[in-house]
Structure 1
Amino acid sequence: MADIVEVLNRRGGVATFGELRALVPARAIRGALTGGEILRVGKGVYTLPQAPPALAAARSHGGVVSHLSAAQHWGFGVIRKPLLPHVTLRPKQVRRRTGLPCTLHWADVPVLDDVTTPARTVLDCIRTLPLSEALAVADSALRSGGLSEDELLAAAAMVRGPHRRRIQRVAALADRRAESVLESALRAIAIEAGLEDFVPQVLVRDREFSARIDLANLRIRLGLEADGFEHHGHRQALVKDCRRHVNLTIRGWRVLRFSWEDIMYDPEWVVEVVRQASGLPPLTNRILRAA
């Protein structure tokens, strides 16, 4: 007779009473529940204490993990983690009052092991998120190898109904060369501002020097870089980065560097700075802030 914890582990940490009862006696289920080895999270739904919260929430409602929660499941980068798991139910399916707290959606979706497929996950994120967050997921999906460019474009081409044009546009913008979600967000800001001449991960190289710039306008030799908090983890990294910046400068490149706070909380300022550096007129009369 199989052990109840073993059965749950094979099911990703979550199973229904019927699935458990097919392999273990009812008394074993009751004993494991009383002893705290398993938890009851919904009517007829049991989990291990360490089961993935999104999967537990989905099965407690009889649905599947979707949207940002599915993106996390597949290992795609996200800018903001969801406050509650995202779960999709079948159309007209009634939510269960006994289910775990989550954000519910209703749709017919392709599924793999109770999670929306990688392609559907990206399309759902594009449909519901701002461009910066949607592009971060789409870029990461391509970068991770969990989805190919052809697969994403083909899935987007099949979309019908509301948001079709937006989904297809963002799918076409997705680029596997982007190296971080912050870089994707910076590119989204540039795109939304009409500054679409910036190419991801441009290599600057000669016989004595080699470096990549997050985003670069080759025509005017202007680079944009997204610097996360971990950018300078130690003194050696700071020294290396200073040398890199000097080498780019003497080769005719200007590089504007933006922090997480700049990109996520002050995109208007980012746009004004990039426009000024590009020789374009300002969009507003806003005074550029001092450091």
Structure 2
Amino acid sequence: MRLAPEQARHHARAQLRNRSRAGSDQPHHHAPARSYFLSCASPPPQPHPFRLVPPPAPLRLGERMRRGTLSAMVDIHHAVRHFGGLISTSELETIGVTRGRLAGLVSRRALVRVRRGWFSAPDIAADAVRAARVGGTITCAQSLRAHGYWAVPDGSLHVLVPRNAARLRSAGDARRAYEPGTPGLRVHWMPPRAPRNRLVADPVDAIATLRSCAPRELYLASLESVLHRSPGLRQDLVAGGHRIVPGLVDGTCESGTETLFRLRMHGRLPSLRPQVRIPGVGSVDFLIAERLVVEIDGESFHDTESTFENDRRRDAELSRRGFRVLRFSYRQVMEHWSIVEAAVLAALQRGDHR
């Protein structure tokens, strides 16, 4: 039986109130994601184009929004966040925003019209808005990085849409239809996992789409990152057809560059053990045979005085204990692999590993 308009609004308010009360008590399958909202209000250092931030305080549903007041602005942004970063016209109506009031919010840029019938807050990152305008969510490397995993973007916008999606629009102009083959845009058609964030694809979905478009070693490095940071997703990843190989891709490495080093040197060294703990030093990235230590700096280079000094202290202590240390940067591994490879093989020829 169809509810009357006032009954429908009451029912929607009750559902949203229950969602607000549930809050952080709901179980989560992976630590980084929770029920986050995509924002670039205070963007992190590049190259991350956006970040995920926790949801706001529960929406005060008992208060009617007052036109033109700061309270109304705050409440409407809370509502957008509670609905996952995007909110529809019908959802706005359920919390008391009439079409006339909606037009005022859009004209004052308190809300941004993404596509017909859908709106976002003005602080949504541009790529998130573009993906939503197409009719889906950000996926592949951009999604994984937003969730805090290691991934290498390829410069294109990757959008996940349901397999039965229709009426896709242009990423730059909602008045134009989506055209397959648009430069800088790749659409992935697949049934997403539920529940689905309205802005960013689930990590398992993002890994699935990444497998279809990224170079194999970059896909494997991102898979390792998800396994390392969110071991609770292992079963879902295996069910999705991702192969976990002990000693190669198993969640041991702490960064994607470490995974790339292990993949590229696999079978070429007498022994390669990741994350080996050495007394007085702590864990080292790799130990080749008995004496050769390889350390690989992450994407965020250790450029503060304290981390720089700590790295040098570790290197000195390793040398004092009879180890030979090779240290490589993120850029060397990603862009100048031949230098890394030659240095490791030369150290083996000298017998630094024995």
Specify the TM-score bucket, using the shorter chain as the normaliser.
0.7 to 0.9
* Whole-angstrom distance in 2 between the partners of 1:17 and 1:249: 65
1:113 pairs, out of 197, 204, 214, with 197
Counterpart contact for 1:139–1:175, Cα < 8 Å: yes
1:104 pairs, out of 182, 187, 194, with 187
Counterpart contact for 2:281–2:317, Cα < 8 Å: no
1:75-104 Cα distance to aligned partner (Å, 9 max, x none): 2222x3453442112336456334448432
1:128 pairs, out of 207, 213, 217, with 213
After TM superposition, list the pairs within 5 Å mapping 1:137-286 onto structure 2.
137-145=222-230, 147-156=232-241, 167-168=242-243, 173-191=248-266, 194-195=268-269, 197-205=271-279, 209-217=280-288, 219-228=289-298, 230-234=301-305, 237-279=307-349
Unpaired runs of at least 5, structure 1: 157-166, 281-291
TM-score by structure 2 length? 0.63
Unpaired runs of at least 5, structure 2: 1-63, 66-74, 174-184
Pairing 1:27–2:111 present: no
2:115 maps to which residue? 42
Distance 1:25 1:171, change over 3 A: farther
1:284 maps to which residue? none
Counterpart contact for 1:220–1:278, Cα < 8 Å: no
1:136-187 Cα distance to aligned partner (Å, 9 max, x none): 322322232264434433332xxxxxxxxxx426798334332233333333
1:236-264 Cα distance to aligned partner (Å, 9 max, x none): 54444334223323433222111122111
2:182 maps to which residue? none
Counterpart contact for 2:133–2:169, Cα < 8 Å: no
* Whole-angstrom distance in 1 between the partners of 2:133 and 2:245: 33
Identity of aligned residues (%): 25
Counterpart contact for 2:160–2:190, Cα < 8 Å: yes
Deviation at residue 106 of structure 1 after TM alignment: 1.7
Counterpart contact for 1:41–1:47, Cα < 8 Å: yes
Deviation at residue 231 of structure 1 after TM alignment: 2.2
SS of corresponding position for 2:294: strand
Deviation at residue 271 of structure 1 after TM alignment: 1.8
* Whole-angstrom distance in 2 between the partners of 1:132 and 1:265: 14
Counterpart contact for 2:135–2:169, Cα < 8 Å: no
1:203-261 Cα distance to aligned partner (Å, 9 max, x none): 112xxx233211122x3432211124632521x54444334223323433222111122
The count of residues paired between Structure 1 and Structure 2 equals 263
Counterpart contact for 1:141–1:147, Cα < 8 Å: no
Deviation at residue 62 of structure 1 after TM alignment: 2.4
Distance 1:18 1:262, change over 3 A: same
Distance 1:33 1:169, change over 3 A: same
- Alpha-carbon RMSD across the aligned residues, in angstroms, is 3.1
Counterpart contact for 2:272–2:286, Cα < 8 Å: yes
* Whole-angstrom distance in 2 between the partners of 1:18 and 1:196: 64
SS of corresponding position for 1:103: strand
* Whole-angstrom distance in 1 between the partners of 2:147 and 2:311: 33
Counterpart contact for 1:14–1:55, Cα < 8 Å: no
Distance 1:65 1:72, change over 3 A: same
Deviation at residue 61 of structure 1 after TM alignment: 2.4
2:69 maps to which residue? none
1:39-75 Cα distance to aligned partner (Å, 9 max, x none): 1122222111112445433332222332123213322
32-41 or 114-123, larger mean C-alpha shift: 114-123
1:3-27 Cα distance to aligned partner (Å, 9 max, x none): 5433223223322333323432100
